[in-house]
Amino acid sequence: MSYPHHNLQIQTVDGFILSASIYSAKEEPDGNTLKQNRWLIIGSAFGVPHQYYKHIANHLAEQGISCLTFDYRGIGQSKDGVMPAKDMLMQHWGELDLESVIQHVQNSYQPSELYYLGHSAGGQILGLAPSSYQFDKIILAATGVGAWRAWLGAQKYLLAAMWYGLMPLMMVFQRGDFFHSKMLGPIPVPKHAVKQWVEWAKSEDYLFTSRHGLDLSGYEKIKANIFALTISDDWYAPQSSRDALLAHYSNSHRVTQYILPQDLELKRIGHFGLFRKKQEIIQGIWQPIIKFLNQ
């Protein structure tokens, strides 16, 4: 299904060209022009192309909030650029790509309010962007730290087996500079971004572990209101990992919601179901997001 939008390219601070789409806010129901210039940036999950979020982006546009979706470097339509794939790391998605998108929206549209929706990895890398403090409200959806120590019960040991056993084994069979596996998402991702992700996940405090040498000062500078959604059947981001991530947004006001599929008369939602068309507002999943942004 196609929705009204226009595509554009955004040049990052290091000269990489990112592919993006804008879903412009519709006029108000009475035909008047919009009284507010509200914008929301969507940060994608690991290995997920930005078009995946077209359903919620269009719906938010219908609610008067313009949305920008984009592909990180090495992903989807931003696969190639001035940085070779062998040099692409997950940290670049926050430090360079998200940072440049924030600057583009601020400089080009001067929003009255700026929002962010981070899905999975998109919620983890937010504070790596120096300008992330400029967001007024933030939604963290199906996200948490990937460090196995932050998980509970048997899940903890299953995740440890994945990081120390399965992922290194899979890496042996990967050829070239991209990692091909539906387990990480529908499209290939830069191999060294995957390697960095695994190293973070084996660390005591994920990317926040000091030995990784990242500038983490952006996380404590974020003072936005944060709304964090967790799905009960989401194996990738249980409540314990979500809470471990939220602890690093220490100066924000944080509210959480736990969603059970059966409460919405669904069999399952999972890690990716939150943004499928069939699980839209009429089934009650997007309503809390809209309410949060309109408060």
**pLDDT (average), residues 47-54:** 95
- Of residues 273 and 225, the one with the higher pLDDT is 225
Note whether residue 178 is domain-resident.
no
Any idea what DSSP says for residue 127? G
How far is 172 from 166, CA to CA, in rounded Å?
Answer: 10
pLDDT of 240 over the 70 cut: yes
Q: Looking at the DSSP assignment, which residues form a beta bridge with residue 227?
A: 139, 255
- Of residues 285 and 64, the one with the higher pLDDT is 64
How far is 189 from 231, CA to CA, in rounded Å?
Answer: 25
Any idea what DSSP says for residue 251? T
CB atoms within 10 A of CB 218: 20
CB atoms within 10 A of CB 147: 24
pLDDT of 60 over the 60 cut: yes
E runs forming strands in the chain: 6-11, 17-23, 38-43, 65-70, 113-119, 137-141, 178-179, 189-190, 225-231, 253-259
Note whether residue 16 is domain-resident.
yes
Note whether residue 27 is domain-resident.
yes
Average pLDDT, the chain: 91
pLDDT of 57 over the 80 cut: yes
Note whether residue 205 is domain-resident.
no
Residue 59 maps to which CATH number? 3.40.50.1820
- Of residues 121 and 152, the one with the higher pLDDT is 121
Which two tokens mark 294? Answer: 């309109």
**Cβ distance 49 to 43 under 8 Å?**
no
List phi, psi (to 5°) of 180.
-110, 110
As for how many domains the chain has, the answer is 1
**pLDDT (average), residues 157-165:** 89
Which two tokens mark 42? Answer: 């969507």
How far is 5 from 131, CA to CA, in rounded Å?
Answer: 25
**What does each C-alpha distance from 116 to 79, 119, 276, 284 come to in angstroms?**
23, 10, 19, 20
Which two tokens mark 153? Answer: 């019960």
Q: Looking at the DSSP assignment, which residues form a beta bridge with residue 179?
A: 189
**pLDDT (average), residues 74-86:** 95
The predicted pLDDT at position 50 comes to 97
CB atoms within 10 A of CB 130: 18
Note whether residue 262 is domain-resident.
yes
* 86-135 confidence digits (pLDDT tens): 999 999 999 999 999 999 999 999 999 999 999 999 999 999 999 999 99
Note whether residue 191 is domain-resident.
no
Parent domain of 67: 6-146+216-294
The predicted pLDDT at position 197 comes to 95
How far is 30 from 15, CA to CA, in rounded Å?
Answer: 43
**Cβ distance 163 to 148 under 8 Å?**
yes
The model carries a pTM of 0.94
Note whether residue 236 is domain-resident.
yes
Which two tokens mark 295? Answer: 């408060």
Note whether residue 206 is domain-resident.
no
